[in-house]
Amino acid sequence: MPTVTMTVNGQQVSRDVDPRTLLVDFIRNELHLTGTHVGCDTSQCGACVVHVDGTSQKACTMLAMQADGCEVATIEGLAKNGELHPMQAAFKEHHGLQCGFCTPGMVMSAVDLVQRNPDPDEHEVREWLEGNICRCTGYHNIVKAIQHAAKEMRG
């Protein structure tokens, strides 16, 4: 089995993997980082979104091999020095979650949005979230949370 090496949440990891291993399975089963969820298995619901080299990716839509040499960030790596990332804090504060299953993917996706567009309007947030499904909330608090976090991140 080939060896794959990547940096995950700042730490270098190296594993021998079956070449067919999906990145999401690598993260969950090999690294035991279970905050990244599998919702639809087919790259549609967005529960598995992580960052690969700084941009959001659905981890069920790429192979672990494809992330060889990359910087990967998961929801577990977002808080720094025990402080929630502003996006995490905003989802918590503005009730942008209910069952929580879509939340990690939503948060990771939203962080990427704000990196690209520091001041997204409501329409832009909704357009961006097209690939992230939430069945509980109706999205309004998610949109509010992202806009509040964007403001926070702008400083």
Partner 1 sequence: MTRRGPVFAPDDNAAAPARARPTARHKGGVSETAPHDSALRHVDGGAKYIDDMSEPAGCLHLALVTSEWAHARITGIDTAKALALDGVATVIAAGDIPGENDMAPVMPGEPLLPPEVAEYVGHPVAAVAAADFETARQAAKLVEVHGEPLQPVLDLDDAIAREHYLLAPIVFQRGDPGPALSEAPRRLQGGTRVGCQDHFYLETQVALAVPQEDDEMVVYSGTQHPTEVQHIVAHLLAVPHAAVQVEVRRMGGAFGGKESQASLVAGLAAVAAAKTGRPVKLRLDRDSDMLVTGKRHAFKLDWDVGFDDDGRILAVDMQLAGQCGWSVDLSPGVLSRALSHADNAYYYPHVRLTGLFCKTNTQSNTAFRGFGGPQGMLAAEAMLDAIARSLGKDPLEVRRLNLYAAPDRLLTPYHQTVEHFRIPEMIDQLVASSDYARRRAEIDRFNAGNDVIKRGLALAPVKFGISFNKPEMNQAGALVNVYTDGSVALNHGGTEMGQGVFVKVAQVVAEVFGIDLTAVRATATTTAKVPNTSPTAASSGSDLNGMAAKQAAETIRERMRAVAAEQLEADARAVTFAGNQAVAGNKTIGFGELAQACHQARVSLSSTGYYRTPKIHFDRETNRGRPFYYYAHGVAVSEVAIDTLTGEWKPLRTDILHDVGSSLNPGVDRGQIEGGFIQGLGWLTMEECVWDAEGRLLTHAPSTYKIPTARDVPRDLRIELLQNAPNEEATAFRSKAVGEPPLMLANSVWLALRDAVHACGPGGRAAALDAPATPEKILRAVEAMRP
The site for partner 1 (CB under 8 A) is made up of 28, 32-42, 44-45, 47, 74-76, 78-79, 84, 88-89, 91-95, 97-104, 107, 122, 125-127, 129-130, 132-144
User: Which residues is 65 bridged to in the sheet?
Assistant: none
Closest approach of partner 1 to the CB of residue 82, in Å: 10
Write down how long the chain is: 155
Torsion angles phi and psi, residue 6, rounded to 5 = -150, 170
Closest approach of partner 1 to the CB of residue 139, in Å: 4
Closest approach of partner 1 to the CB of residue 44, in Å: 4
Closest approach of partner 1 to the CB of residue 111, in Å: 12
Q: Exposed, middle or buried: residue 81 (CB in 10 Å: 0-12, 13-18, 19+)?
A: exposed
Cα→Cα distances 11→4, 5, 59, 71, 72, Å: 14, 10, 18, 9, 9
The three-class DSSP label of residue 38 is coil
In single-letter form, the type of residue at position 11 comes to Q
Residue closer to partner 1 (CB basis): 69 or 136: 136
Residue closer to partner 1 (CB basis): 62 or 113: 113
Residue closer to partner 1 (CB basis): 62 or 94: 94
